Amino acid sequence: MNEDRIAKLNKLEKKLNYKFNDINLLNLAFIHTSYTNEHSDFKNKSNERLEFLGDAVCELAFSEILFKNFKPKQEGFLTKVRANLVCEKSFSELADHLELSEFLLLGKGEEKTGGRDKPSIKSDAFEAVMGALYLDGGYDVVFNFIYNLIIDKVKELKIQKESVNDYKSMLQEYLHKKNKSNSTYKLVNEIGPSHNKLFYFEFYIDDKKISEGNGKNKKIAEQMAAKNALEKLGVLKK
């Protein structure tokens, strides 16, 4: 690798919040088979083996995250949710979030036919990067990275699938019984680009802040604020 390539990969390390002991592993995660076919020096050095490993590590990490966040849901439910998260479409979207396409090394033919934007190639690159993380830093590094990457989405799924879905109504009913009618939700912040915003709400009773919550849309953020308020008021157990 030349210095420019190393510098480029160093920028990706910052996004991953991890410094590789062996930067060559990270570089290998982006070498597509079409590139190896056109460069004899890279024969048998594509990202396919890392992709194979990363696929298995991702399934374990996603499974553990879902297991810990959706209890006591049954196996069928967890399997269905995992299938929606551990798939080409999901991994391609995560690759877009991390802007992995710009690091790909593709053959001329694949480049001309739009390989850099193909969901299958982007998904494979994400899995390969996870495989590289696993080999270089171990399972905990991969787990923590994936956890931080998907936990907001998992929280949204959790709220959507709760048997008691409407925490706001639940909270309103509780306050009505306590004769407390002066309550309000306040939008206090919006972070991120328009296609990937995170909204922050605070919940007040009689102008006293009780809780806060955030989510990918205002409805989810308000529901999270209501859920946290119910927990603080002792209505729900954490």
Please tell me the distance from the alpha carbon of residue 230 to that of residue 16, in angstroms, as a whole number.
Answer: 35
Q: Give the integer Cα–Cα distance in Å for 166 and 143.
A: 30
Catalytic residue among 3, 4, 48, 55: 55
- The residue annotated as part of the active site, out of 4, 110, 117, 127, is 127
Q: Is 212 annotated as ligand-binding? A: no
From the list 202, 205, 212, the residue with the least C-alpha distance to 179 is 205
Q: 127 an active-site residue? A: yes
Q: What is the rounded CA–CA span in Å between residue 212 and residue 202? A: 4
4 in active site: no
Q: Output the CA–CA distances (angstroms, integers) from residue 79 to 57, 70, 163, in the order listed.
A: 16, 11, 18
75 is an annotated ligand-binding site residue: no
Radius of gyration of the chain, Cα coordinates, nearest whole angstrom: 22
CA distances from 145 to 111, 115, 149, 188 (A): 29, 26, 6, 28
Assigned token pair, 184:
């309000």
Tell whether residue 51 is among the known ligand binding residues: yes
Q: Give the closest residue to 103 by CA, choosing from 235, 169, 174, 6.
A: 6
132 to 5, 27, 100, 116: CA distances (angstroms): 17, 9, 14, 20
Residue ranges for the known binding site for Mg(2+) are 51, 124, 127
Residue ranges for the known binding site are 51, 124, 127
Catalytic residues: 55, 127
